[in-house]
Structure 1
Amino acid sequence: MQKKASTVVFFGQTLAAVAQPLIIFTPTKMAALWFPDHQRATANMMASMANPLGILIANMASPKIARTAQLPLLMLVYAVVACVSCFLVTMGMRCSAPPPTPPSASAEHSTSEPFRHGFKLLLRNRAYLLLLCFGSGVAVFTCFSTLLDQILCVQGYTDDFVGLCGALFIALGMVGAALPGLYVDKTKKFIEAIKVNMSLSAMVACAFTVVCLMQDQKVAVAIVCALFGFLGVSIYPAVMELSVECSYPVGEATSAGLVFISGQVQSLIYIILLQALATPIAESPRLTCTLAPQSWKVPVMLLSALSAVSSCIFLIFFHTPYRRLEDEKAAIYGTGQGNGTAASENK
């Protein structure tokens, strides 16, 4: 019976993982086809942050439901929410074509490359390959949220406090996402905004390395976790837009999606590496770990180093024209051929 249950759980997790790309990659495509250039980053931000909002609500509600009821009831709540959402999306979203009046020149003349050809173009695009440094940033944030409990329990912090830090990480990231989205929509300074955020995020990662090794520093730990989310998570929508700008006319879902996939691959590598570097420590009355306690000093230092290195590489070497914006200007003020310039540069 236990083996059968494990198989069902594994199948469910796999099915959810397969479905995830169909949701994660859509905001950039939706913003490109349905919103003008001065609203794309904001639209992408609102759609992208819906995912962490759901995670935040689940993380806050799940412990309360689990304390007052049995685990099957919690699973039933998850199932009801998923089924209702699926029904609303299936019955409520019936748009199968772009709007009759294109909101921008790039949407009007959209000729996204086929995936295989677009993938080859991306491999030859130096700026886009450097943008995969942000994939390392995604991996750092994933490791942070995944291993936070194991890192902090060694210093005696409770599960409730760790949950608060995780909630602050996500909530402040959602609040902070509004600022880069509005800023880049007004100024079109994608690169400058992302470089500033990545640099500050690397500094906060180094600060977390210091405070997470201290005892009885709840305020400092909570502030650092909140700042890490505010500066790091918030820049995700702007990076997705920049991935389209530097790789146009490659399809929006392809360029943005591969950045996210690279982050997930790197997350897997980082988590395995960090867990391998953690060393067992002796039991102590102040420990709150449910698993065997381990020292995370070296893994956390490595995590901050990875954040700093990826930020430095992006800060120093990343330079690119905004291909989509340039083609839109050409379509309006120049020859009227919406994607000719970018297409010729990519061939």
Structure 2
Amino acid sequence: MTEQKNLEVSGSVMDGITEKGMALDSPSKKGNVEYIAYPIRWLVLFIFVFYSASNAFQWVQYSIIQDTVVKYYGVPSIMVYWTSMVYMVTYIPLIFPASWLLDKAGLRVTTILGAFGTCAGAWLKVFSVPQDMFWLGFVGQTVVAISQVFILNVPPRLAAVWFGADQVSSACSIGVFGNQLGVALGFLLPPMLVKSTGTMEEIGHDFQLMFYLVAGFTSVLFVFILLFFKAAPPTPPSAAADLGSTIDSNFLQSIKTLLMNRNYVLLLISYGLNVGTFYAISTLLNRVILTYYPGASEDAGRIGLVIVVAGMAGSVVCGLILDKTHRFKETTLAVYTSSVIGMIIFTFTLDCGLIGVVYLSSIILGFFMTGYLPVGFEFASEVTYPEPEGTTSGILNAVVQVFGILTTLLYGWMLDEVGDRWANLTLCALLALGAAVTAAIRSDLRRQAAQNKA
């Protein structure tokens, strides 16, 4: 796949470059430039998808079987919830050095580091099966959580480095799809592998099997990454990627520029509210479902699976829509508003007494709420271009973790104090606020402007 492009930079794109205080020779000064999207880009992307999935799987590995973990290890429920929240806590201080490393060292170095940490943490859990060794499992979980900082901000960067202008949004969606796939399997497999009704010996054997499977899979992936994952193609795949590759970015200056960007700041708030709500529901889903359907641990896992799988479908659909229409604000606002509606439906069907109805409402909620993830990533890349995608998405995810921690703690407290109905209505209100903030974002599509001037 090739395209010949001449690029002239003007308007908001040049404004963004001027803010950085850089002189830049655009690709147009090179004469006719041939841009090639190399076939190996698909191998690189799908290796990343499985690598991201192997890390995301472990996020809810304990919390979705919270009742079994409490029974087997004899730890309080709050400790089990912290196995999920540790992902959020570790991300906040570490994302800035991780974003700097991605900007300076490139995709291959950061991916190798993340894959090694994900694998090492999984192996620590293998040795945490004895009932007095929950602390070691928590250490392993923390190592995996730290490794997440080398994953979440990669999809927009990988898409921009490897894919042409007509595929960049779809590629980003597929990259985010990996995280969603891991979360989906994290909801599905632990309740199937670790049965809460067995004896202590049987539960211990189930934990051992689950931990070995994850450790083995992450080990194979680590080897694949060492052998096949490349940092960048020999030549840029698009005019926008070519322009971005010529910029010698200053990390601190990039952060300052991003935080002065009104549209980006508004997107930080709206994205944080949406994904923070998703984190709260995911972390406490087992508890919410068991409130109305006692003994339905496997159903809680399957409902989580339904939410994420529907979101995976939503991600792909939204990515295709963005590539075809390039209407980023309109798509973002439509998806966000639909998330509010989905959350309201979920809230008022939980206590209907028919768990099949809860499955259906979860499909609606998941399609839009988790389908929003890549849309937010791509919108951020558009309104902040030519700032490095790794830094843009890194700050976005750091804010998400803050919102995730606060929302999860608020949701858990409200479940204790006022019950699930008011707790869920509060999440509906937060999503409605996020939709209003999204409506205030201007459609300043800097990356599209650069590409369209070609």
Query: TM-score range with shorter-chain normalisation?
Result: 0.7 to 0.9
What secondary structure sits across from 1:16 in the alignment?
A: helix
**Mapping of residues 1-347 of structure 1, within 5 Å:** 5-67=133-195, 69-93=205-229, 95-96=230-231, 98-110=232-244, 111=247, 113-132=249-268, 133-156=270-293, 158-212=296-350, 214-279=351-416, 295-315=419-439, 317-330=440-453, 332=454
Structure 1 residues not aligned, in runs of 5+: 281-293, 333-347
Gaps of 5+ in 2: 1-127, 196-201
State the Cα deviation string for residues 168-192 of structure 1 (Å, max 9, x = none): 1011111121111111101111111
Q: Give the percent of matched residue pairs that are identical in Structure 1 and Structure 2.
A: 26
When residues 156 and 99 of structure 1 are mapped into structure 2, their CA distance, relative to the original with a 3 A threshold, is: closer
Tell me the equivalent position of 1:283: none
1:217 positional shift? 2.7
- 3-12 or 217-226, which moves further after superposition? 3-12
SS state at 2:133 partner: helix
Alignment match, 2:14: none
Contact 1:131 1:318 in 2 (8 A): yes
Corresponding residue SS for 1:8: helix
What is the CA distance between 1:135 and its match in structure 2? 1.4
- Please give the per-residue CA displacement for 1:108-135, whole angstroms capped at 9, x wherever unaligned: 1211632211110111000000101111
Please report how far the alpha carbon of residue 137 of structure 1 lies from its aligned counterpart in structure 2 after TM superposition: 0.3
Contact 1:241-1:256 within 8 A present in 2 as well: no
Q: Equivalent residue for 1:288? A: none
- Residue 17 of structure 1, CA deviation: 1.4
**1:14 Cα offset (Å):** 1.9
State the SS of the aligned residue for 1:206. Answer: helix
Separation in 2, partners of 1:184, 1:24 = 20
Q: CA deviation at 1:258?
A: 1.4
Residues 149, 159 of structure 1: 8 Å contact kept: yes
Distance 1:82 1:9 in 2: 16
Q: How many residues align?
A: 314
Question: Structure 1 residues 275, 161: closer, same or farther in 2, change over 3 A?
Answer: same
Structure 1: how far apart are the matches of 2:279 and 2:299?
19
Structure 1 pair 261–189 and aligned structure 2 pair: CA distance change class (3 A): same
Q: Distance in 2 between matches of 1:297 and 1:107?
A: 47
8 Å Cα contact 1:31/1:44 also seen in 2:
yes
Compute the displacement of 1:3 (Å).
Answer: 11
Deviating above 4 A after TM superposition, structure 1's stretches of 4 or more consecutive aligned residues are 1-4
Q: Which amino acid aligns with 1:297?
A: R
Residue by residue, what CA displacement relative to the aligned partner does 1:230-258 show, whole Å, maximum 9, x if unpaired?
A: 11111211211110110111110111121
How high is the TM-score relative to the length of structure 2?
Answer: 0.66
Say whether the 8 Å CA contact 2:319–2:374 is kept in structure 1. yes
Instruction: Give the whole-Å Cα distance in 1 for the aligned partners of 2:432 and 2:373.
Output: 17
Cα displacement (A) at 1:273:
1.5
Deviations 1:268-323 (A, max 9, x none): 0111112222336xxxxxxxxxxxxx8222211111111111112212x1113111
Could you say what secondary structure the match of 1:318 adopts?
coil
CA distance in 2, matches of 1:168, 1:192: 26
